[in-house]
Amino acid sequence: MFKNYLKIAWRSIQKEKFFTSIKIGGFALGITTCLLIALFIRDELGYDTHYSKSDQMYRVVLQAEINGEMKKSTHFPLPMAQTLEADFPEIEKAGKIYGSALSSGGKRAFRSHAETQNVFEQGFLYGDQNIFEILEIPLLQGNPEEALIGPRNLVISESKAVKYFPNGKVLGQTLILDDNASRPYTVTGVMPDFPSNSHLHFDFLLPIDDSNASWTSQNYFTYVVLDEKSDVIALQDKMRSILNKYVIPAQIKRGRDASFIEILKKITYKLQPIGDIHLKSDIEMADGLPHGNLRFVYLFAAIAGFILLLACINFINLSTARSANRAKEVGLRKTVGAFKSNLVAQFLTESVLFSLISFVLGVLGAWALLPLFNSITEKTIEMPWTAGPFIPVLLISALIIGIISGLYPAFYLSAFRPVNVLKGSLSIRGKSGRLRSGLVVFQFATSVVLIIGTLIIYKQMNFILEKDLGYDKEQVVILEGANILGSKADSFKEQLLQLNQVQKVSASDYFPVEGSKRNQTTFTVVGEGRENVGVLSQTWRIDYDYIKTMGMQIVDGRDFSREFASDSVNSIIINKKMAHDLGLELPLGKQIDNNYQHWNIIGVVDDFHFKSMKEDITPLAFCIGSDLGTIAVKVNPGNIAESLASITAIWNRNVPNQVLSYTFLDQRFAQMHNDVLQMGQIFNSFAFFAIFVACLGLFALAAFMAEQRKKEIGIRKVLGASILGITQLLSGDFIKLVLIAMIIAFPIAFWMMDNWLQDFAYRIYIDWTVFGIAGLVALAIALFTVSFQSVRAALTDPAKSLRTE
């Protein structure tokens, strides 16, 4: 019997190839989309699950209430890790790390001892010996117990070992950092590359210098592995004893004032599970790591579900739309003795067969599109062909979806009464027609929501890129690795300024884009308000030309000047936000203190954005410093290639053994908002898929209606109805469905996207034009889809439609 069902199903496929290809194609497209999203979600939820003790691994987080606002940080003093392990038996191991690998910046000049030409590398991390055990880093070569003992030791990743030492002889090799041949490093270990879904990625691990074990400097991430039976909540409370025992006495000894000590007394320590770092970090004092967004994961999961539902709806519509073609078959089978259960089994077999074919095509489609999807999401996802449950899950899903999507058509078609069918008086209207219309409304409502979401995301991205940032990001070339210039830095700047293409030049490690250096300290006003809690502020060390080069505006006072010797000693420029938070209406001439020294305020710079648009502008101060790792060159608009060639020539004269590495400030700014751009691209793709599948469903309903009304159309043509009139008659019903879908979709889309925009401190406001454009697009797509069937029905010869009357 089953073999007979398969034969009939295959004949049905061959008989109606056009509709079958639409049915299978729509289903396969939905499966492709769902599988891509499922792989994305699997990757996001799989971060840091490769550790054998992932449920015992935590990162230490500090919480402190400052000015009524809860702040968080992941940076701790150097002795923190060792103290945690020594003072709390619940902690099996504690270790610390810091370095440029914890941000997107940090390029350093690098070469092997045998080479003379430097290259730029990034991913440098400093760690202690415990980090091998905590992060479960096995060494492919070398001894993990000795790899970081020496101050000039270096462990490199497997990929870098292959890159620089293809002969396989790695241990004992000498490497030069920052072009400093007098302080070479020796390779003492080779570690595997970190998996792509790890929150940490680094290629070079160096030993931490433990000589400055101060409790007053906070630069280190601290990780711990707990005993299996540890009570995390109780341990967090016990960890506060570190404050009174170590932190507060050290700060008092250093001369910190009472207001600062009050802040310290409010500190609490939290243990963040390592599996939560990627998706559940709300660290306001940024940890410099790229993070995912749990809400995006939920949103994409919902979209995947809706698109799969649209594909199932499309399958149902196409099955019932061609019901009249199967009606006589059903009638004859029932007449010769077939039971309803036999017919249901037959139609379910067809549905499962369609589902299996669709799954095969859908999986192949996802595999083909995966490289493009990876380029959009900036991931390295692979098809898990060898994963144990992958193929069985696909087969079970194909069976379940095939049965679920085929249930309604199976019972619907098997319910036809033979007498009515064979007499030609079959009526396929009523509740089933309303259901099909409802399904099309649902499909287009989903599509309109995705169209609106795409439009709003792109509007927000354009708003971000075009907003006045408080500085000029255009035509600024960022030269990286400039610390290699050493004593030649000032001469190099002067040589650049001789170029006609160059307007201004500045050297600093601090720029208003991610991946640049950051330094946060607390300031209080000297002589007044000392009892008040200080203001947490960024403190950037810059040169005399920085503010002019970046196009920032001094709104009060003056810029730094070489004419004033004190400017390089104790002068400071603050932004308007810092003046406001310090309560200074007239800040010029006031003194502020960060417990290192007193600073004289000589100017106020207009507020500018140095964080993502999701965050408010916060206090910031400038002082003259000697951080020369990066050089910003403001060039004239026009021939950028010529400007870069001239800059490169000067660089090569000064640093012949180092290739110039540069980026553009505007590109670095855009990279800060890559998550918005990625979401827009993904939404755009999903909207296309949803609309395409919805159009297939609408096409099916149009075919169904045209088939049901073919005699009515024939009579209208005989009575003189025009082709245009009949087309309008058939299309009008569908336009009503799309309008209903729009009415349903608009408030849902507004609610969803308004919630998304709440993440941004600086955002657009949704206006009616977005809904108007989305509505017009949906109407145009619907009209284009149904016009084919409407015109086809209008052109049919009425004699063929009415010959049985």
Q: Which position has the token pair 């669709």?
A: 358
Provide the 3-class DSSP secondary structure of residue 401. Answer: helix
Q: What is the pLDDT of residue 442?
A: 83
Q: pLDDT band at 430, cuts 50/70/90?
A: very low
How far from chain centre, in Å, is Cα 277? 14
Residue 555 or residue 24, greater confidence: 555
- 262-283 pLDDT, tens digit each: 778 888 999 999 999 988 877 5
Residue 350's pLDDT is 77
pLDDT at 367: 93
Could you read off the pLDDT of 567-614 as tens digits, one per residue?
A: 888 999 999 999 998 888 899 989 998 877 889 999 999 999 988 888
The partner residues of 62 in beta bridges, in order of sequence, read 73, 269
Q: Is the pLDDT of residue 803 over 80?
A: no
pLDDT in the model for residue 571: 94
SS3 588: coil
> What's the confidence (pLDDT) of residue 86?
93
Mean pLDDT value across the chain: 83
Q: What is residue 21's predicted lDDT score, i.e. its pLDDT?
A: 79
pTM score, whole prediction: 0.80
Res. 3 pLDDT band, cuts 50 70 90: low
Of 158-172, 215-229, 290-304, where does mean pLDDT reach its minimum?
290-304
Say if residue 105's pLDDT is above 60: no
**What is the predicted pLDDT for the residue at 273?**
94
Residue 530 has pLDDT above 50, yes or no: no
The DSSP code sequence of 644-710 is HHHHHHHHHHH-TTB--EEEEHHHHHHHTTHHHHHHHHHHHHHHHHHHHHHHHHHHHHHHHHHHHTH
CA distances (Å), 133 to each of 160, 207, 225, 230, in order? 22, 15, 9, 19
pLDDT at 334 over 50: yes
pLDDT > 70 fraction of the chain, expressed in percent and rounded: 85
How does residue 332 score in pLDDT terms, banded at 50, 70 and 90? low
- Predicted confidence at residue 112, as pLDDT, reads 83
User: What is the pLDDT at residue 307?
Assistant: 82
Of 93-102, 311-320, 759-768, least confident by mean pLDDT is 311-320
Of 37-41, 272-276, 453-457, the one with minimum mean pLDDT is 453-457
Residue type, 418: P
* Complete DSSP assignment for 485-541: GGGGHHHHHHHHHTSTTEEEEEE-S--SSTTS---EEEEEETTSSTTS--EEEEEEE
Mean pLDDT value of segment 73-81: 90
Confidence of residue 209 (pLDDT cuts 50, 70, 90): confident
Mean pLDDT of 106-131: 84
DSSP letter for 568, please. Answer: G
| pLDDT over 80 (residue 204) | yes
- Residues 378-404 pLDDT 10s: 888 888 888 778 888 888 888 888 888
Confidence at 84, pLDDT banded by 50, 70, 90 = very high
Least confident of 352-366, 552-566, 686-700: 686-700
Confidence of residue 677 (pLDDT cuts 50, 70, 90): confident
pLDDT confidence bin for 330, thresholds 50/70/90:
low
Cα distance between residue 517 and residue 260, in whole Å: 24
Encode pLDDT of 353-380 as tens digits.
Answer: 888 888 999 999 999 999 988 888 888 8
Residue 135 in this model has a pLDDT that exceeds 50: yes
Mean pLDDT to the nearest integer, 755-762:
84
More confident residue, 83 or 404: 83
pLDDT at 182: 85
| Whether the Cβ atoms of residue 405 and residue 315 lie closer than 8 Å to each other | yes
Q: What is the mean pLDDT of residues 486-503?
A: 90
Q: Is the pLDDT of residue 496 over 50?
A: yes
- Check: CB of residue 702 under 8 Å from CB of residue 743: no
What integer pLDDT is reported at residue 607 of this predicted model?
94
CA distance 445 to 428: 25
Q: What is the mean pLDDT of residues 29-35?
A: 89
